[in-house]
Amino acid sequence: MAYLVRILLLIAVLYSGSGVFALNCSQIPSADIIPGRFIFIPDGASSRTQIPPNWDCTYQITVPPLIYATISLENGLQGYNDVIIVRDEQGTYTMVSSRSAPTVYFYVFPNTTTTFQVSTKSVDMKSSFRLVVYYQRMPNATVTQMTSSSLTYFELNDLQVNSDKLPQTIQALENISLSIAASGYSSDVFDNYFVIDGDFSQQNAVYRMTSFLSQNYISSGNTLTLVGLDIWNSESSVVLTPLSQTQQFDSLTSFGVYFNENQLKIDATTGGRQRKAVTVVSMTNAVVILGVEMTPPCTSLKAVSAPLTSSSTVLLDFTAVTDYPRNITEKVFGIIAENCAATLKMMSG
């Protein structure tokens, strides 16, 4: 589906042909925002349109609820000071210039607006541009009910609506803690994965997952919705935990593991409880622990079954192990440290 959208955008570019077109600053009429329709900016432009000197126009791409837009920005900027500044409601700022790629893609999330400010200076450098906007209907979300003793996670690949996957809505009996199990895979990007505080019918706030790479997010209510508009393969996951479960620890974060060696550092020598935990998510059904370095004293360092509750089973007590590697035959499990600082080297098995 994702590649089909890119092909459709390319066909729209080729079919539109070429030719001279007068630049204008008109906006998209609301009546033209229809799923399956292409819109060209400037209005009706059949190819990249030349931008005159001293031009400044902001084009607003607004989409209603349950519709999203894929935008292909055809970049023909030539002047050093000629720019297109892109801003969205999640606070993302992108500056496109003559040094940017010839085609740049953007996504506009349902019920939000993204703006494209096109600006040139006094010298005519023959810069040009065109926006090709393609509207699509957002599929209905799958709803998952989460109890106070459960854990829910999704690989980012399974959130990609452009790859025929569905959005995911998680409902709990309490607030939900969200954390990103980033794998460290160099090609993983999180810009086009979204978190709704609430659901599509009641969007209390919308964030890009990039905002939560170094901190958890706590929902304002008992519902979160996850959507992926990206198309690239990912080795990372997102983990959702009932808030009461996280409150057993000074912190409960997440960590992703894939086929290259990755290092998890945990330090539970500070904090009120001196007790920290990490949920580990592997891209396979097993993890190989290659080695562990502990800084004494270390009261406790254990791998336990997930979710992390009082009934979790101990899978491996690292304070009692001296020889590695060791295998943990679980796709998801926890590491709990008490008054202990350690570095664990691991990879998917």
Q: Report the CATH architecture of 248-349.
A: Sandwich (2.60)
**Which amino acid, residue 152?**
T
pLDDT tens column, 130-163: 999 999 999 999 999 999 889 999 999 999 999 9
Residue spans per domain, the chain: 2-137, 139-240, 248-349
Query: 190-210: per-residue pLDDT in tens?
Result: 999 999 999 999 999 999 999
The 8-class DSSP code of residue 65 comes to: T
Report residue 138 as tokens.
């957002």
Same fold flag, 139-240 and 248-349: yes
Find out whether the peptide bond into 297 is cis, omega within 30 degrees of 0. yes
The 10s digit of each residue's pLDDT in 104-138 is 999 999 999 999 999 999 899 999 999 999 999 99
User: Do residues 220 and 166 make contact, with C-beta atoms less than 8 angstroms apart?
Assistant: no
Instruction: Specify the residue for token string 């295998």.
Output: 327
Distance CA 75, CA 160 (A): 26
Instruction: Please give the model's pTM, rounded to 2 decimal places.
Output: 0.88
Q: What is d(CA 220, CA 174) in angstroms, rounded to the nearest whole number? A: 10
**What single DSSP character describes residue 271?**
S
Number of H helices, E strands in the chain: 2, 27
195, 225 Cβ separation under 8 angstroms: yes
Read off φ and ψ for residue 343, nearest 5 degrees: -125, 125
In the chain, the largest separation of any two C-alpha atoms, in whole Å, equals 75
| Interatomic CA distance for residues 278 and 264, integer angstroms | 9
CATH no. for 2-137: 2.60.120.290
Rounded distance between C-alpha atoms, residue 335 and residue 316, angstroms:
9
When the pLDDT of each residue in the chain is averaged and rounded to a whole number, the result is 92
Write down the CATH number for the domain with range 139-240: 2.60.120
Any idea which residue has 């659901």 for tokens? 199
